[in-house]
């Protein structure tokens, strides 16, 4: 009895004394920025996040998909919501999603993902590379954590809701290859209906977002939507910018004719390792008329993927640039170059420079992002062979993005990057430690 009385008293104090002095109670103000925490799954190496969706709200675990078109979730199993609204053909939602397909009659039993006279937009699993022409477009409530950017060190603000967030309803089989418990993918790509575009439209903030992926599977990184200052570190004022390039041809998964790619492409002029140029066929570094070639940034690939001829030259140049003659060991899949770690000891890996257009624009990759320990004895070059004639010649993958702050500005069509935060004595998990 005494205990519950104490609680009542305590609750009374919390409710009536604390709220006016904190911003957490203020849900009427529009947030200027939002955050989604991102973890790294140790078995699949996928980057995972979670949103709250539906009525009543339930947590939905998702694989992050930087180049993904939109949010898609499995609607075949367990989708229950009183606020689910299918997008009728010709509606504003169908137009915003640039859907060109209207399904008049479904033969399945009516419910989320199965409503007559709705438009669709095909969801794609960028990990398994499967996509489907089933994909009813719909809206539902989504709730997300805001950030109090006026506070010191960006403390978390209240959860805020988007009442009608557009997403696509996928079938259960599309989840194949995604981490355990995942129910869909969080697309951050170059469309009007990706999460960044919809969040900035809903709250009227800048069309930009930042990703900071943690290198650890036990501490979080995050995606920040809007303009987030990092007052303690100020890396955001020291980002190097490079233009984002639009690849005019979409061909990852099913799309409508004339759809551009939704991936984030940048231009790399050359690659240097320890100051030496990697000899490569530079025409592979530009995007041709069919949309092949060039360089994109991806969270769907755990390691950077290089077209075969680039990969071979890359390994060769790297091995030569190592300061000492460190013995190679038998390559351990998926890597093509591994070294005896007992010889690596205190030697630092040669710096890898991705040379971008403009003066002194270099994305620097240091040892923590270039070498990966495999087992007890080996350190491998954390890059993989993409085969001959891949769609994209250079895909900068997750391992190379970790502990780097990347800011995608859709309005200005540019990418800002910090290179390794370790040289700022910080990490992505420290930047997000408030959450
Ligand atoms: C909430 O914040 C807005 C903008 O900062 C302010 O105008 C409003 O008075 C605040 N409301 C409450 C209940 O504190
Ligand atoms: C779609 O309309 C047809 C014809 O009216 C009907 O037989 C069918 O059950 C409807 N399907 C759904 C999913 O409502
Ligand atoms: C360079 O790459 C382009 C595009 O794949 C190819 O057409 C051309 O033959 C290559 N040139 C050489 C010298 O290998
Ligand atoms: C690595 O080098 C150590 C020391 O010379 C040696 O004992 C070990 O067998 C080597 N490991 C491999 C995998 O070659």
Q: Measured at the alpha carbon of residue 216, what is the angle toward residues 210 and 220, in degrees to the nearest 5? A: 45
pLDDT of residue 431: 85
Is 267 in the same domain as 164? no
- Give the residues of the chain that fall short of pLDDT 70: 1-29, 151-153, 231-236, 345-347
Chain segment 164-188, per-residue pLDDT in tens: 999 999 999 999 999 999 999 999 9
d(CA 340, ligand 4 centre) in Å: 6
CA of 87 to the centre of ligand 2 (A): 16
- 190 and 326 in a single domain? The answer is no
Q: Reduced to 3 DSSP states, what percent helix, strand and coil does the chain have, rounded to the nearest 5?
A: 20, 35, 50
pTM: 0.89
Is residue 404 a contact partner of residue 420, using CB atoms and an 8 Å limit?
Answer: yes
> Which ligand has the shortest distance to the CA of 327?
4
CA of 314 to the centre of ligand 3 (A): 17
Which of 209, 227, 245 lies at the terminal end of a domain, its last residue?
A: 227
Ligand nearest to the CA of 104: 2
96 membership: H or E segment, kind and range? helix 92-96
Contacts of 235 (CB under 8 A, 6+ apart): 405, 418, 421, 424, 426
Q: Are residues 56 and 89 in the same domain?
A: yes
The best mutation among 76, 88, 116 to test binding of ligand 2, ranked by most ligand atoms within 8 Å of the C-beta, falls on: 116
* Residue with token string 């950077």: 304
How far is residue 2 from each of residues 9, 11, 12, 268, 330, measured CA to CA in Å?
Answer: 11, 14, 15, 68, 69
Examine the domain organization and report whether 202 and 258 are in the same domain. Answer: no
Query: What pLDDT sits at residue 129?
Result: 94
The residues lining ligand 1, judged by C-beta closer than 6 Å to any ligand atom, are 26, 28-29
Q: Which domain holds residue 40?
A: 2-227
The per-residue pLDDT for 191 is 96
Ligand 4 and 375: CB distance under 6 A: no
Q: Which of 173, 206, 227 is the last residue of a domain?
A: 227
Please indicate, yes or no, whether residues 244 and 379 belong to a single structural domain of this protein.
yes
Q: How far is the CA of 284 from the centre of ligand 3 (A)?
A: 7
DSSP 238: G
- Give the residue, out of 86, 103, 107, 109, with the most ligand 2 atoms within 8 A of its beta carbon, to mutate for a pocket test: 107
Q: Which of 175, 195, 227 is the last residue of a domain?
A: 227
Q: Do 209 and 256 belong to one domain?
A: no
Rounded CA-CA distance 295/247 in Å is: 10
Q: Are residues 106 and 123 in the same domain?
A: yes
Residue 154 sits in the same domain as residue 71:
yes
Which ligand gives the minimal distance to the CA of 286? Answer: 3
251 and 166 housed in the same domain: no
Ligand 3 in reach of 284 Cβ (< 6 A): yes
Residues 174 and 256 in one domain: no
Q: How many domains does the chain contain in total?
A: 2
Whether 223 and 125 share a structural domain: yes
Looking at the structure, tell me whether residues 162 and 250 fall in a common domain: no
Query: For position 139, which CATH number holds?
Result: 2.40.70.10
């Amino acid at each position: 009895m005494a205990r519950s009385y104490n609680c009542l008293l305590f609750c009374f104090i919390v409710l009536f004394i604390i709220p006016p002095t904190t911003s957490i109670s203020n849900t009427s103000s529009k947030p200027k920025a939002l955050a989604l925490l991102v973890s790294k799954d140790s078995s699949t190496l996928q980057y995972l996040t979670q949103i709250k969706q539906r009525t009543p709200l339930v947590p939905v675990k998702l694989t992050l998909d930087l180049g993904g078109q939109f949010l898609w979730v499995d609607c075949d199993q367990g989708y229950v919501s009183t606020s689910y609204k299918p997008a009728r053909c010709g509606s504003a939602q169908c137009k915003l999603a640039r859907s060109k397909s209207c399904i008049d009659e479904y033969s399945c039993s009516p419910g989320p993902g199965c409503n007559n006279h709705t438009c669709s937009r095909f969801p794609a699993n960028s990990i398994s590379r499967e996509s489907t022409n089933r994909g009813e477009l719909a809206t539902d409530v989504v709730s997300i954590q805001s950030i109090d950017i006026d506070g010191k060190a960006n403390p978390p603000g209240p959860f805020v809701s988007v009442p009608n967030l557009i997403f696509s309803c996928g079938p259960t089989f599309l989840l194949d290859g995604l981490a355990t418990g995942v129910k869909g993918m969080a697309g951050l790509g170059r469309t009007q209906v990706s999460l960044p575009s919809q969040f900035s439209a809903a709250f009227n903030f800048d069309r930009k977002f930042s990703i900071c992926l943690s290198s650890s599977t036990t501490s979080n990184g995050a995606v920040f939507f809007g303009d987030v200052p990092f007052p303690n570190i100020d890396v955001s004022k020291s980002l190097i910018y490079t233009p984002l390039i639009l690849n005019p041809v979409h061909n990852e998964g099913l799309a409508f004719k004339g759809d551009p790619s939704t991936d984030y492409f940048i231009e790399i002029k050359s690659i240097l390792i320890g100051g030496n140029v990697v000899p490569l066929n530079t025409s592979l570094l530009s995007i041709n008329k069919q949309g092949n070639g060039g360089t994109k940034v991806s969270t769907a690939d755990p390691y950077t993927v290089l077209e075969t001829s680039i990969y071979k030259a890359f390994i060769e140049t790297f091995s030569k640039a190592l300061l000492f003659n460190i013995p190679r060991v038998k390559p351990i899949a998926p890597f093509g170059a591994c070294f005896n770690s007992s010889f690596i000891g205190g030697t630092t890996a040669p710096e890898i420079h991705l040379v971008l257009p403009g003066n002194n624009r270099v994305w620097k990759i240091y040892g923590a992002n270039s070498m990966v320990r495999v087992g007890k004895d080996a350190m491998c070059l954390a890059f993989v062979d993409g085969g001959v004639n891949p769609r994209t010649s250079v895909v900068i993958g997750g391992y190379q993005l970790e502990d780097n702050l990347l800011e995608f500005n859709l309005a200005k069509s540019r990418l800002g990057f910090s290179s390794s935060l370790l040289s700022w004595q910080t990490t992505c998990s420290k930047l997000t430690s408030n959450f």
